[in-house]
Amino acid sequence: MRLRPPALLAGVLMLLATAAHSATIEREFRYDASRVKLVQRDGYTLVEAKGGMPEFRIGRPDLPWLAERVDLAPGTKITGIELVDVQTAPLGVVRTMASAEVTHPGLGETERTRPDARFYGSSKAQPEELVALGAQGDQRGRRIAYVRVAAARWNPQSGMVERVTNVRVRLTVEDAAPTDLPRERIVREWEDTGLPTGVPLRTLGSALVSMWDGDGTAGENGVAGEAQPFRPQQVPSVLGSPVEYVIVTNDALASTFQQLADWKTQSGVPAVVRTTSFIRAQYPSAADDAERVRLFLRDAYSRWGAKWVLLGGDTDIIPVRQAYTTFYGSEYIAADIYYSCLDGNWNADGDSLYGEGYYSTRTIRATTRTCCPRSTSAAHRSRP
């Protein structure tokens, strides 16, 4: 008996099943003429793009890149990108284009990498690939990816610079691994742009609450009930009141920061203060105090629905996570972002080099706004 036909059929079915989990979407990005211009700096004619990032790859022409956000359905990721169409407009002629800068920490004189003949001697416009896939991850239940788009391209032979006016890309989207940080409480009023897209409200179940309901439900038909006393649990929990604003400091400064927390709560932003000694006692199973604080913040995000975090103190008060980077060669840097990018443990390979690999972008709040070392927000509006 020959079994090849059934085996072949099984293989076809497996391919069809795999294909069913992938799809393609297209996105188009347009750029106004005022976005990109030529400027004179340090003896070079440079291409400058508003909101753009410089080229960091060694030996390549220093042409800026723009980042475009793409919102995805939860549980998916982009695995491929294809340039469908691009339109350009002349910007000028630059005979000698500056090469990418040497990356080094701190401020100092600009140093350029040696121009690579593969790019500066090419007959093709640079960069040859005008689009690339950037970082992607989760942020408050939303799946986010970034597409990198070259703002301009330069022909080394003619010196012609063209700005990109319109680009259309096709993205391959596939299923992603489930998150390791589920949101056990989602407070309706604290979501900036509504609830996570692509998630039916019925699937959120008891995680969806209103800040005005003391019984942990969103009320009939999602209508908020009467205001309830602010009574959060000492340790993050789905029981008790949700907490929007979390302050972490030491025992000596706790009473001072409590004044800020009280003012925040009275202003409609439920806030609490928790000390490093309290967190140390509640989270004994951790590599160090920095991980204990992070584990506490993970629970605050997941169970309190926390949106903002204030780190109340310098490095002598708040434990520091030294993250390893090869961007500047090889260096350890203090990384507040460790307390806002909450996926994983930043040490997946167990070698105690934190942050050396890619990590996603899930945050309690946007990473540039989550970790604030000083409490000036109250003074900007009124005194507590």
Domain assignments of the chain as residue spans, ordered by start = 23-175, 186-381
- pLDDT score recorded for residue 5: 39
Give the H/E segment covering residue 289.
Answer: helix 289-299
Give mean pLDDT in consecutive 10-residue pieces for the chain, a chain of 384 residues.
40 43 93 95 93 94 97 91 97 95 76 95 96 90 92 97 98 87 87 55 51 47 61 95 96 97 95 98 94 96 94 94 77 87 83 65 35 36 45
Burial class (CB in 10 A: 0-12, 13-18, 19+), 373: middle
Task: Establish whether domains 23-175 and 186-381 are of one fold.
Answer: no
Query: Starting from the edge strand earliest in sequence, which strands make up the sheet with 308-311, in order?
Result: 271-275, 245-249, 308-311, 371-372
- pLDDT score recorded for residue 353: 81
Structure-token pair, residue 226: 């009467």
How many angstroms separate the CA atoms of 266 and 143, rounded?
A: 33
pTM (whole model) above 0.75:
no
- pLDDT score recorded for residue 114: 95
Instruction: Provide the CATH number for the domain formed by 186-381 in this structure.
Output: 3.40.50.10390
Q: Report the CATH architecture of 23-175.
A: Sandwich (2.60)
- pLDDT score recorded for residue 347: 83
How many angstroms separate the CA atoms of 148 and 138, rounded?
A: 18
Structure-token pair, residue 274: 């928790």
- pLDDT score recorded for residue 358: 44
- pLDDT score recorded for residue 236: 97
- pLDDT score recorded for residue 324: 81
Cβ–Cβ under 8 Å, residues 56 and 113: no
